Amino acid sequence: MVIELVLSKVDMMIDFKGLLNVFKPKEVEGYFKKEMPNAQWSGVVTNVLLGMVIVTIASFIVALVQTMFQGVLMTMGGAAGQAVVSGAANLGGVLVGAVMNFILFFVFAFILHFIARAMGGKGEALKLLYLMSIASLALSPIWAVIQLLMIIPCINCLMLIVGFGVLLYELYLIYEGVMVSHGLESNKALIAVAAWVIVLLIIAAVIIGAMMLFIGATMFGAGALSGMSPTYYP
């Protein structure tokens, strides 16, 4: 009864049939214009959360399968305790990743909003985030299926190509969202999205670089403490 009540309320908040318009490129702009007056922060959070749940369930299944496979190998190698720790880390990483993705959605969306404003956009952040959340929710089942199929060795390379295509289409939806929510011309909206992608790549590069430096420093420190450092200090 509780599950049915929750599902009915979610169905009232989300027009699932309307989401199909996201997959019709020629109707996306009209659909976004129709949906934009319904923008509410509760709707943004609901869309993002539901999309994250769908993707996280797939990620959890993949992590569980990988954990079981690794666990069998480690147990056969006499490292049962390490298998348990590794499995817990894998499953815990899925939950941590879900929380981080939820937070990053809002951070990245606000960055795009500010870029669009700098390009002359007049829209509100709420409207842009609402349209982006619709796109995120609509594509979440596809991302979930891609993750599940990635564990199959014979088609994982194909899934990488499919995933790249889905990513490009998601950028197209975001581009449409910027145009509709901020009233920008197509060329300015395209520049805004391109600049946004560049900013995200720079942020990713900085984070990865910082993590590599931290890991390198940690390994060097551990080596020095254990007497394995190649540097000799008299």
Considering Cα of 219, then 220, then 221, then 223, what sign does the dihedral take?
positive
pLDDT of 91:
77
- Confirm if 58 and 147 have CB atoms less than 8 A apart: yes
- Confirm if 52 and 98 have CB atoms less than 8 A apart: yes
Instruction: Quote the distance between the C-alpha of residue 222 and its chain's center.
Output: 34
Structure-block tokens of residue 210:
């910082």
- Confirm if 132 and 42 have CB atoms less than 8 A apart: no
Q: 3-class SS at 232? A: coil
* Amino acid, single-letter form, for residue 58: A
- Confirm if 137 and 105 have CB atoms less than 8 A apart: no
For residue 203, give every residue at least 6 positions away whose Cβ sits within 8 Å of its Cβ, in sequence order, or none: none
Least Cα distance to 50 among 121, 144, 122, 114 occurs for: 144
Instruction: State in Å, rounded, how far the first CA of the chain is from the last one.
Output: 73
Query: What is d(CA 58, CA 80) in angstroms, rounded to the nearest whole number?
Result: 26
Query: What is d(CA 129, CA 64) in angstroms, rounded to the nearest whole number?
Result: 32
* Amino acid, single-letter form, for residue 151: I
Task: Divide the 234 residues of the chain into consecutive groups of 10 and give the mean pLDDT of each group.
Answer: 43 74 93 94 95 93 79 57 64 87 96 96 95 96 93 84 95 97 95 97 91 74 52 42
Query: What is d(CA 79, CA 71) in angstroms, rounded to the nearest whole number?
Result: 9
Query: What is d(CA 80, CA 179) in angstroms, rounded to the nearest whole number?
Result: 55
For residue 166, give every residue at least 6 positions away whose Cβ sits within 8 Å of its Cβ, in sequence order, or none: 139, 142, 143, 146
